[in-house]
Structure 1
């Protein structure tokens, strides 16, 4: 059985949702960053951490891609063009969406107050809006980013979309708003967020 360490209000939500989609049993430890139960598995104190057979795996993207590969679902097979396109979307979302949101969070409450630069958030919002337009050109025909099949980037994008709304980063594309509504309606998503 897997153990997931981290709160559902963090990137651990991605791991919780992946396991719910896979219908795999797991134990959830809702620990916060840098808490004692986290640092013993990740010296950086970051969440999430997935424990399998006593081995910790860190970084939400690495964890969910590992789970998708291991269980042969929510991913395309490595070495295929579809997987290359999937990995490209994953990297785009991490570089353009997650990075902007994380930088804004750091300058809102993570960094010591004397190091925060609140003015940076305007440029991050601008980049975030621009990235949405680029993403809409890359989105496949169908209900998911890749088209007919839900994949790892769908989990990352939905998590970032929810994070954006909380951080008051506007979702400017109507197609993206509809996509996020569909994804949040998934039963596995609802179960993961209820933890």
Structure 2
């Protein structure tokens, strides 16, 4: 049994979805890692934490890749060329999709008002649209980012595209629009979303 600590509406959805895809049982503690002594296992006091046999693992990308490796699913084997390509796509999505959305959020409502740069959203939106075109050129021919098999980058991309819609960052590539609809129709996504929404 895994324990996932993280608030609803955050990157915790990536971890819940991965566990649902793997068919693994888990408890979800809807809290920031900071309160009630949880800061001892997550000193930064933010983000998502997975507890495995009493040991905390932080950062959603590290968590979902760990789970994929541990259960031998949704990933290519370490040390192979497909895994190198998978890791490259994961890093691209973090650098170009996740980072733009997070920066926009910081300058919209997270940073103190006097530190926010309202005009930065236009630059980030332009970069996000450009990154979509680059990604489509790197995607495989099948239904998933890498082709015919779902892998870790799919969890990150689907979450980022969902986040983009709520942040009013347009999805300009038709292939990504269809992709997002297919991924969000997966039963495991639906179960994770329902679990995240529960009180």
Report the TM range for the smaller structure's normalisation. over 0.9
Q: Deviations over 1:85-124 (max 9, x none)?
A: 0000000000000000000000011111111111111000
> Is there any run of 5+ residues in structure 1 with no aligned partner, and where?
none
State the Cα distance separating 1:39 from its structure 2 match. 2.0
After superposing on structure 2, the runs of 4+ consecutive aligned residues of structure 1 that deviate more than 3 Å are 32-38
* Structure-1 residue corresponding to 2:4: 4
SS in 2 for 1:91: helix
Paired position in structure 1 for 2:106: 106
Q: Which residue of 1 aligns with 2:185?
A: 185
Matches within 5 A, 1:56-135: 56-135=56-135
Aligned-pair RMSD on alpha carbons? 1.0
Aligned mates of 1:171, 1:35 — CA distance in 2: 36
1:127 & 1:145 partners in 2: Cα distance? 20
Q: Tell whether the 8 Å contact from 1:38 to 1:47 is kept in structure 2 after alignment.
A: no
Q: In structure 1, what is the Cα distance between the partners aligned to 2:32 and 2:164? A: 20
In the alignment, the residues of structure 1 paired with residue 185 and residue 137 of structure 2 have an alpha-carbon distance, to the nearest angstrom, of 24
Q: Distance in 1 between matches of 2:38 and 2:165?
A: 27
- Would you say how many aligned residue pairs link Structure 1 and Structure 2? 195
Do the aligned residues in 1 keep the contact of 2:5 with 2:33 (CA within 8 Å)?
no
CA distance in 1, matches of 2:130, 2:115: 27
Query: CA 1:105–1:33 in structure 2 vs 1: closer, same or farther (change >3 Å)?
Result: farther
**Aligned-residue offset at 1:46:** 1.4
Distance in 2 (alpha carbons) for counterparts of 1:56 and 1:33 = 11
Q: Give 1:47 deviation, angstroms.
A: 1.9
Q: Name the CA distance, whole Å, in 1 between partners of 2:182 and 2:122.
A: 29
Structure 1 residues 38 and 173: CA distance shift in structure 2, 3 A:
farther
- TM-score, normalised to structure 1's length? 0.97
Q: Structure 2 regions of 5+ residues with no counterpart?
A: none
What's the TM-score once normalised by structure 2's chain length?
0.95
2:168 counterpart SS class? coil
SS in 1 for 2:4: strand
